């Protein structure tokens, strides 16, 4: 009895003392900021940031290479607090989201063969590039949906993935998983996208898809910011230069460029206008009219809300106003 008591408590004491000594001897200096930031972070250890728990993200922030925005849960207040700890100034950085560059028309693209294999795009792609006639088209087996950790991707009945902009955190899993490489990331403020990835020549595209890019160069010519270029027979938008003005959308003959904005913008000229004519000359769709030295007017029907006039006006007389999207004006896709 006594020996048992003594042995066990003795062992316990030895272990405790050993650990106490070891924690001093083998003490590892850790940056105190890591602890502070860990406390500021939500503490849910959800792993959405890609690091093992909040502590992992805190460590990565302190050691560089990670931003507090990696955390999808953190609010602005906490982000500012983290910036304070790091001695940085908080600037709201823009979040990206995933764009799927394929939007085949209703009814889909014709198939080369019936695919009955493993229900995964990557597997299907191994068999002569998948079952779709267009070798650049979305295979539609939903691998991107399966790898999305945030349930941000849903599949339509026609087998096209749709990204939920609110839920997407731009983690890039789908970009990596897509065997056709038709997904990439764009800033959330950019709403004009090319919905085709085909590098085939115009004629070949036209035969198999009604909404494919036929590299007609119309968008490249019309873009006032030189943001859109035809490279390898496909229109590609440089999101750094693009201002989402949407002129290319109006010019595209196959409707392979779309504007995802949920409202329309219309320019409005206030009485600050002194009639300098700068805006009227800059307008790509000639929606602004007016005599020199007199107040100009915007024809709201032809205005596409590109905002070029706003940049041109030196007196701040032109502003963009949000208006309800006019469904009737939007081009309706011809299903064929």
Partner 1 sequence: MSKLLLLIISAVLVNNFVLARFLGICPFLGVSKKTETAIGMGMAVIFVMSIASLVTWILQEYVLMPYNIEYLQTIVFILVIASLVQLVEMIIQKVSPVLYQALGIFLPLITTNCAVLGVAVLSIQKGYGFWEAVIFGIGAAIGFALALVLFAGIRERLDLADVPKPLRGTAIALITAGLLSLAFMGFSGLVK
* Chain residues that interact with partner 1, rule: CB under 8 A: 3-4, 7-8, 11-12, 15-16, 18-19, 22-23, 25-28, 52, 118-120, 123
Q: Are 153 and 172 in contact, with CB atoms under 8 Å apart?
A: no
Helices (H) and strands (E) counted in the chain, each on its own, are 12, 12
3-class SS letters over 176-204:
HHCCCCCEEEEECCCCEEECCCCCCCHHH
Indicate the residue among 52 and 107 with the shorter CB distance to partner 1: 52
**Closest to 102 measured CA to CA, from 204, 179, 188:** 179
Q: Give min distance, CB of 55 to partner 1, in A.
A: 10
Nearer to partner 1, 10 or 253 (CB): 10
Supply the minimum distance, in Å, between the C-beta of residue 38 and partner 1.
15
332, with CB counted inside 10 A (0-12, 13-18, 19+), is exposed
**Which spans in 148-300 are helix H?**
173-177, 202-208, 218-222, 247-251, 278-282
Q: How far is the CB of 147 from partner 1 (least distance, A)?
A: 10
**Shortest distance in whole angstroms from residue 203 CB to partner 1:** 37
Q: What is the Cα gyration radius of the chain?
A: 28
Interatomic CA distance for residues 225 and 244, integer angstroms? 10
Q: H-helix or E-strand containing 277?
A: none
CA distance 61 to 83: 10
CB of 112 to partner 1, least distance (A): 21
Nearer to partner 1, 11 or 217 (CB): 11
Residue closer to partner 1, measured from CB, 14 or 231: 14
72 contact partners, CB below 8 Å, separation of at least 6: 48, 49, 150, 169
Least spacing, CB of residue 4 vs partner 1, in Å: 5
Which of residues 16 and 46 has its CB atom nearest to partner 1 in the complex?
Answer: 16
Q: How far is the CB of 252 from partner 1 (least distance, A)?
A: 38
Read off the DSSP letter of residue 227: -
Cβ proximity to partner 1, 120 vs 184, nearer residue: 120
Q: Which is nearer to partner 1, 50 or 275 (CB)?
A: 50
């Amino acid at each position: 009895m006594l020996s048992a008591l003594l042995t066990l408590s003795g062992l316990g004491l030895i272990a405790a003392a050993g650990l106490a000594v070891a924690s001093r001897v083998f003490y590892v200096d850790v940056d105190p900021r890591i602890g502070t930031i860990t406390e500021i972070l939500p503490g849910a250890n959800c792993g959405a940031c890609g690091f093992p728990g909040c502590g992992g993200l805190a460590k990565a922030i302190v050691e560089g290479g990670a931003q507090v925005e990696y955390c999808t849960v953190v609010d602005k207040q906490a982000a500012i607090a983290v910036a304070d700890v790091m001695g940085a100034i908080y600037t709201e950085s823009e979040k990206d989201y995933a764009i799927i560059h394929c939007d085949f028309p209703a009814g889909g693209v014709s198939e080369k063969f019936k695919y009955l294999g493993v229900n995964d795009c990557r597997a299907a792609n191994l068999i002569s590039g998948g079952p779709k006639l267009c070798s650049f088209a979305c295979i539609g087996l939903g691998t991107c949906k399966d790898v999305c950790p945030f349930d941000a991707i849903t599949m339509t009945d026609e087998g096209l993935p749709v990204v939920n902009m609110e839920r997407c955190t731009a983690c890039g899993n789908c970009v990596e998983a897509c065997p056709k490489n038709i997904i990439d990331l764009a800033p959330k403020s950019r709403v004009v996208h090319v919905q085709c990835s085909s590098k085939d020549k115009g004629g070949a595209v036209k035969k198999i898809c009604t909404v494919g890019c036929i590299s007609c160069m119309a968008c490249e010519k019309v873009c006032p910011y030189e943001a859109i270029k035809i490279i390898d027979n496909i229109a590609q938008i440089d999101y750094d230069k693009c201002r989402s003005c949407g002129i290319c959308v109006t010019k595209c003959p196959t409707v392979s460029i779309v504007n995802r904005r949920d409202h329309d913008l219309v320019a409005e000229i206030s009485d600050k206008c002194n009639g300098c004519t700068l805006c009227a000359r800059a307008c790509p769709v000639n929606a602004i009219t007016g005599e020199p030295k007199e107040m100009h007017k915007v024809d709201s029907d032809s205005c596409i809300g590109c905002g070029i006039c706003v940049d041109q006006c030196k007196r701040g007389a032109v502003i963009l106003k949000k208006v309800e999207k006019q469904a009737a004006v939007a081009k309706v896709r011809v299903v064929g």
